[in-house]
Amino acid sequence: MVHSVTRRSLLGASLAAGATLAFAGCQTTGPGTTPSQGSGSEAAAIRPSYVAFDGPKPDLVGDGATGVPNGYLSYPEPVSIGGVPLNLSAPVEVFAQGVPSPTPRDRNQWWKQWETDLGVELKMTVVDSTQYDAKFQTAIAGNVLGDLTQISTVPQLPQVLEKMFTDLTPYLSGDNVKKYPNLANMPSSAWDMCMIDGKIWGVTNPRIVAGSVLMTRGDILQSKGIDLMPDLSDGQAFLDLCKEVTDKSKGVFAIGQVPQNWTVPLIVEALGGPNGWSVDGAGNWKSAYEDPTYEKALEIVTQMWADGVIHPNSYTDLSSTAVWFDSGVTALFAQNIASWQGRAANADFPCGAVVMPKWDGGGKAAKHLGAPGYGAPVGLKKTSDERSTSCCG
């Protein structure tokens, strides 16, 4: 049977599916930063309405509008969200960040199951997040975007979007999103990751705003008599921990990530520095980079590098940061809270966490909130509004 597919039907189903696929295994970039540009009033005028999904009753009630998820003490009974099959007559091409599958499509049972459920052939080009920016720019230059493409921050991004991507504002702004219940369930704040110049350009992967978590290899810590959830009294105790778990004779280091993306922010928290910006009583804004705590954090991390507790390839082998932690080459690994939850549940080693103390002691440091969504949303390649049986234009 041949189906005529409209931009609206592809949006309502494929975009949601593509957003899910695009972020599988994406873990190696720094803390999310919003690509949103424009005034707060512009964002408020177009931000999609929030409609909570009527699913299983939670044990711990969250606040979906602000990104605090519901909690379940046991796995809930799944509820169908509908929306499939997609009734598409031609393949859908996906170009996104992720971990490429080691099993080819023709032998990949999960890939085939996705296609069966969605009712469409999925042609996926998945690129490690540390290499994606370069691949994305090459795709732009050659005009070879996928139907669903993850949008990376590049020079002249607003012009790129206008030329090569579909403006989704007419479909998703305000109450328009209610036509697509799965998208309407996305936290309101997460949509800010998708807005540039007063328009909606894609769908992000919502993130819990709890900020980053410094995970621990509990087996490495416990082998040295340290609890997998170490109770640190001050900043010096943190530095001592890093030195104690480092064993260069065995190729083990405390941390293996780009320091300014992950370690510096944790130390800025411990020093009581601002989360991106601070504002004084007169309404004057100041960047965290101008705050004395940032300079101090740089000094501390510079000394950590000199002490050899940071993996020497942290700047040159970005795709290995998660591999190092999972294989026991590093003992500490900062990531978003969802990554910690996944590892704590599935790792073959005990996975704990470090709660940073105030640097000079006196309790735990205030935690900086993180971005409400991943900073590279999935957008739709620009094509004719009504797509015929060729599906992909």
Q: Which of 156, 159, 155, 91 is nearest to 125 (CA)?
A: 91
pLDDT band at residue 39 under the 50/70/90 scheme: low
**Is residue 165 within 8 Å of 377, Cβ to Cβ?**
no
Cα gap 70→53, rounded to integer Å? 11
- Alpha carbon 227 to its chain's center: 29
- Between 103-107, 193-197, 386-390, the lowest mean confidence (pLDDT) is in 386-390
- pTM given for the model: 0.76
For residue range 48-75, list pLDDT tens digits in order.
999 988 889 999 998 877 778 888 999 9
Cα gap 23→103, rounded to integer Å? 18
Q: Which of 169, 123, 87 is nearest to 379 (CA)?
A: 169
**Is residue 304 within 8 Å of 267, Cβ to Cβ?**
no
Query: Which domains are assigned to the chain?
Result: 5-208+374-387 (3.40.190), 212-354 (3.40.190.10)
pLDDT at 7 over 80: no
For residue range 300-331, list pLDDT tens digits in order.
999 999 999 999 999 999 889 999 999 999 99
